[in-house]
Amino acid sequence: MEDDHALRDVLLRGLRDEGFDAAPAQSGASALRLAAEGFDAVVLDVGLPDADGRDVCQALRANGYVVPVVFLTAHHTINDRLTGFSAGGDDYLAKPFHLAELAARLRAVLRRADPGAPAVAGDLVLDPVRFTCTAAGRPIDLTPTEFRLLATLIAAAGGLVRRRELVRAAWPEGARVSDNTLDQYLSRLRRKLRTAGSVLTVMTSRGMGHRLS
């Protein structure tokens, strides 16, 4: 999924020449729709016209898609890469790049991939374009930070997520986030889920982390 039309066309032709059955998406919203068709891997631009590609990746993970995600981006500092991996990416390729390298990286992540059962999101559906969540059919408005926290918890499929992992997923790499700040965000999430009538809430294992249950 790439927002530059010329580059997207080159990628599409090149990947098909490399033997991949590729399909294009020009936005985060269309990427989510395409993912439902059952692709084996996703090539995702960080700078999409309607959303941050990392938020789209988190939504994919939260919606149960465990296929490999390779990020493309013009930004390649260590913080950019760490943020991409925290969002659920499997690899990170900086522009400009050689198509042969992208194809090699795709083959590598596909060899390692072992798609399992989809994560259980209960009654929650995330929209990374609008930073909203639908619970029991009712929309919930989220801040970007709330969205990333909730997406990380959903993607864990009921498993425990340590507080450090939540901070890494929801804030820029290197951000100093106090325990009280994280607790306030989690408390707001609980309140919003409860108000919407969701069957899920954020549970706390004291001294360990949090889970959605």
Region 118-131 average pLDDT: 76
Q: Clarify whether residues 135 and 195 are in a common domain.
A: yes
Does residue 100 share a domain with residue 11?
yes
Go through the chain and tell me how many residues it has. Answer: 213
Q: Cis (ω within 30 of 0) for the bond into 96?
A: yes
CA atoms within 13 A on the CB side of 159: 11
Rounded Cα gap, residues 131 and 150, in angstroms: 11
pTM for this entry? 0.71
> 51 with 88, same domain?
yes
pLDDT exceeds 70 at position 70: yes
Domain residues for the domain of 33 are 5-112
Residues 81-122 have pLDDT tens digits of 899 999 999 999 998 889 989 999 999 998 887 544 444 467
The predicted structure's pLDDT at residue 119: 46
What region does 207 belong to: left with phi over 0, alpha with psi -120 to 50, or beta?
left
Q: Do 107 and 11 lie in a common domain?
A: yes
Residue 117 lies in a domain: no
CATH code: domain of residue 174:
1.10.10.10
Same domain for 102 and 23: yes
Residue 13 lies in a domain: yes
Give me the CATH number covering residue 106.
Answer: 3.40.50.2300
Q: What is the pLDDT of residue 53?
A: 93
Averaged pLDDT score across all residues of the chain: 88
* DSSP string across 144-168: HHHHHHHHHHHHTTT--EEHHHHHH
Claim to verify: residue 20 and residue 63 sit in the same structural domain: yes
Mean pLDDT calculated for residue range 50-60: 93
Residue-wise pLDDT for 167-211, tens only, equals: 989 998 888 999 999 999 999 999 999 999 999 999 999 888 999
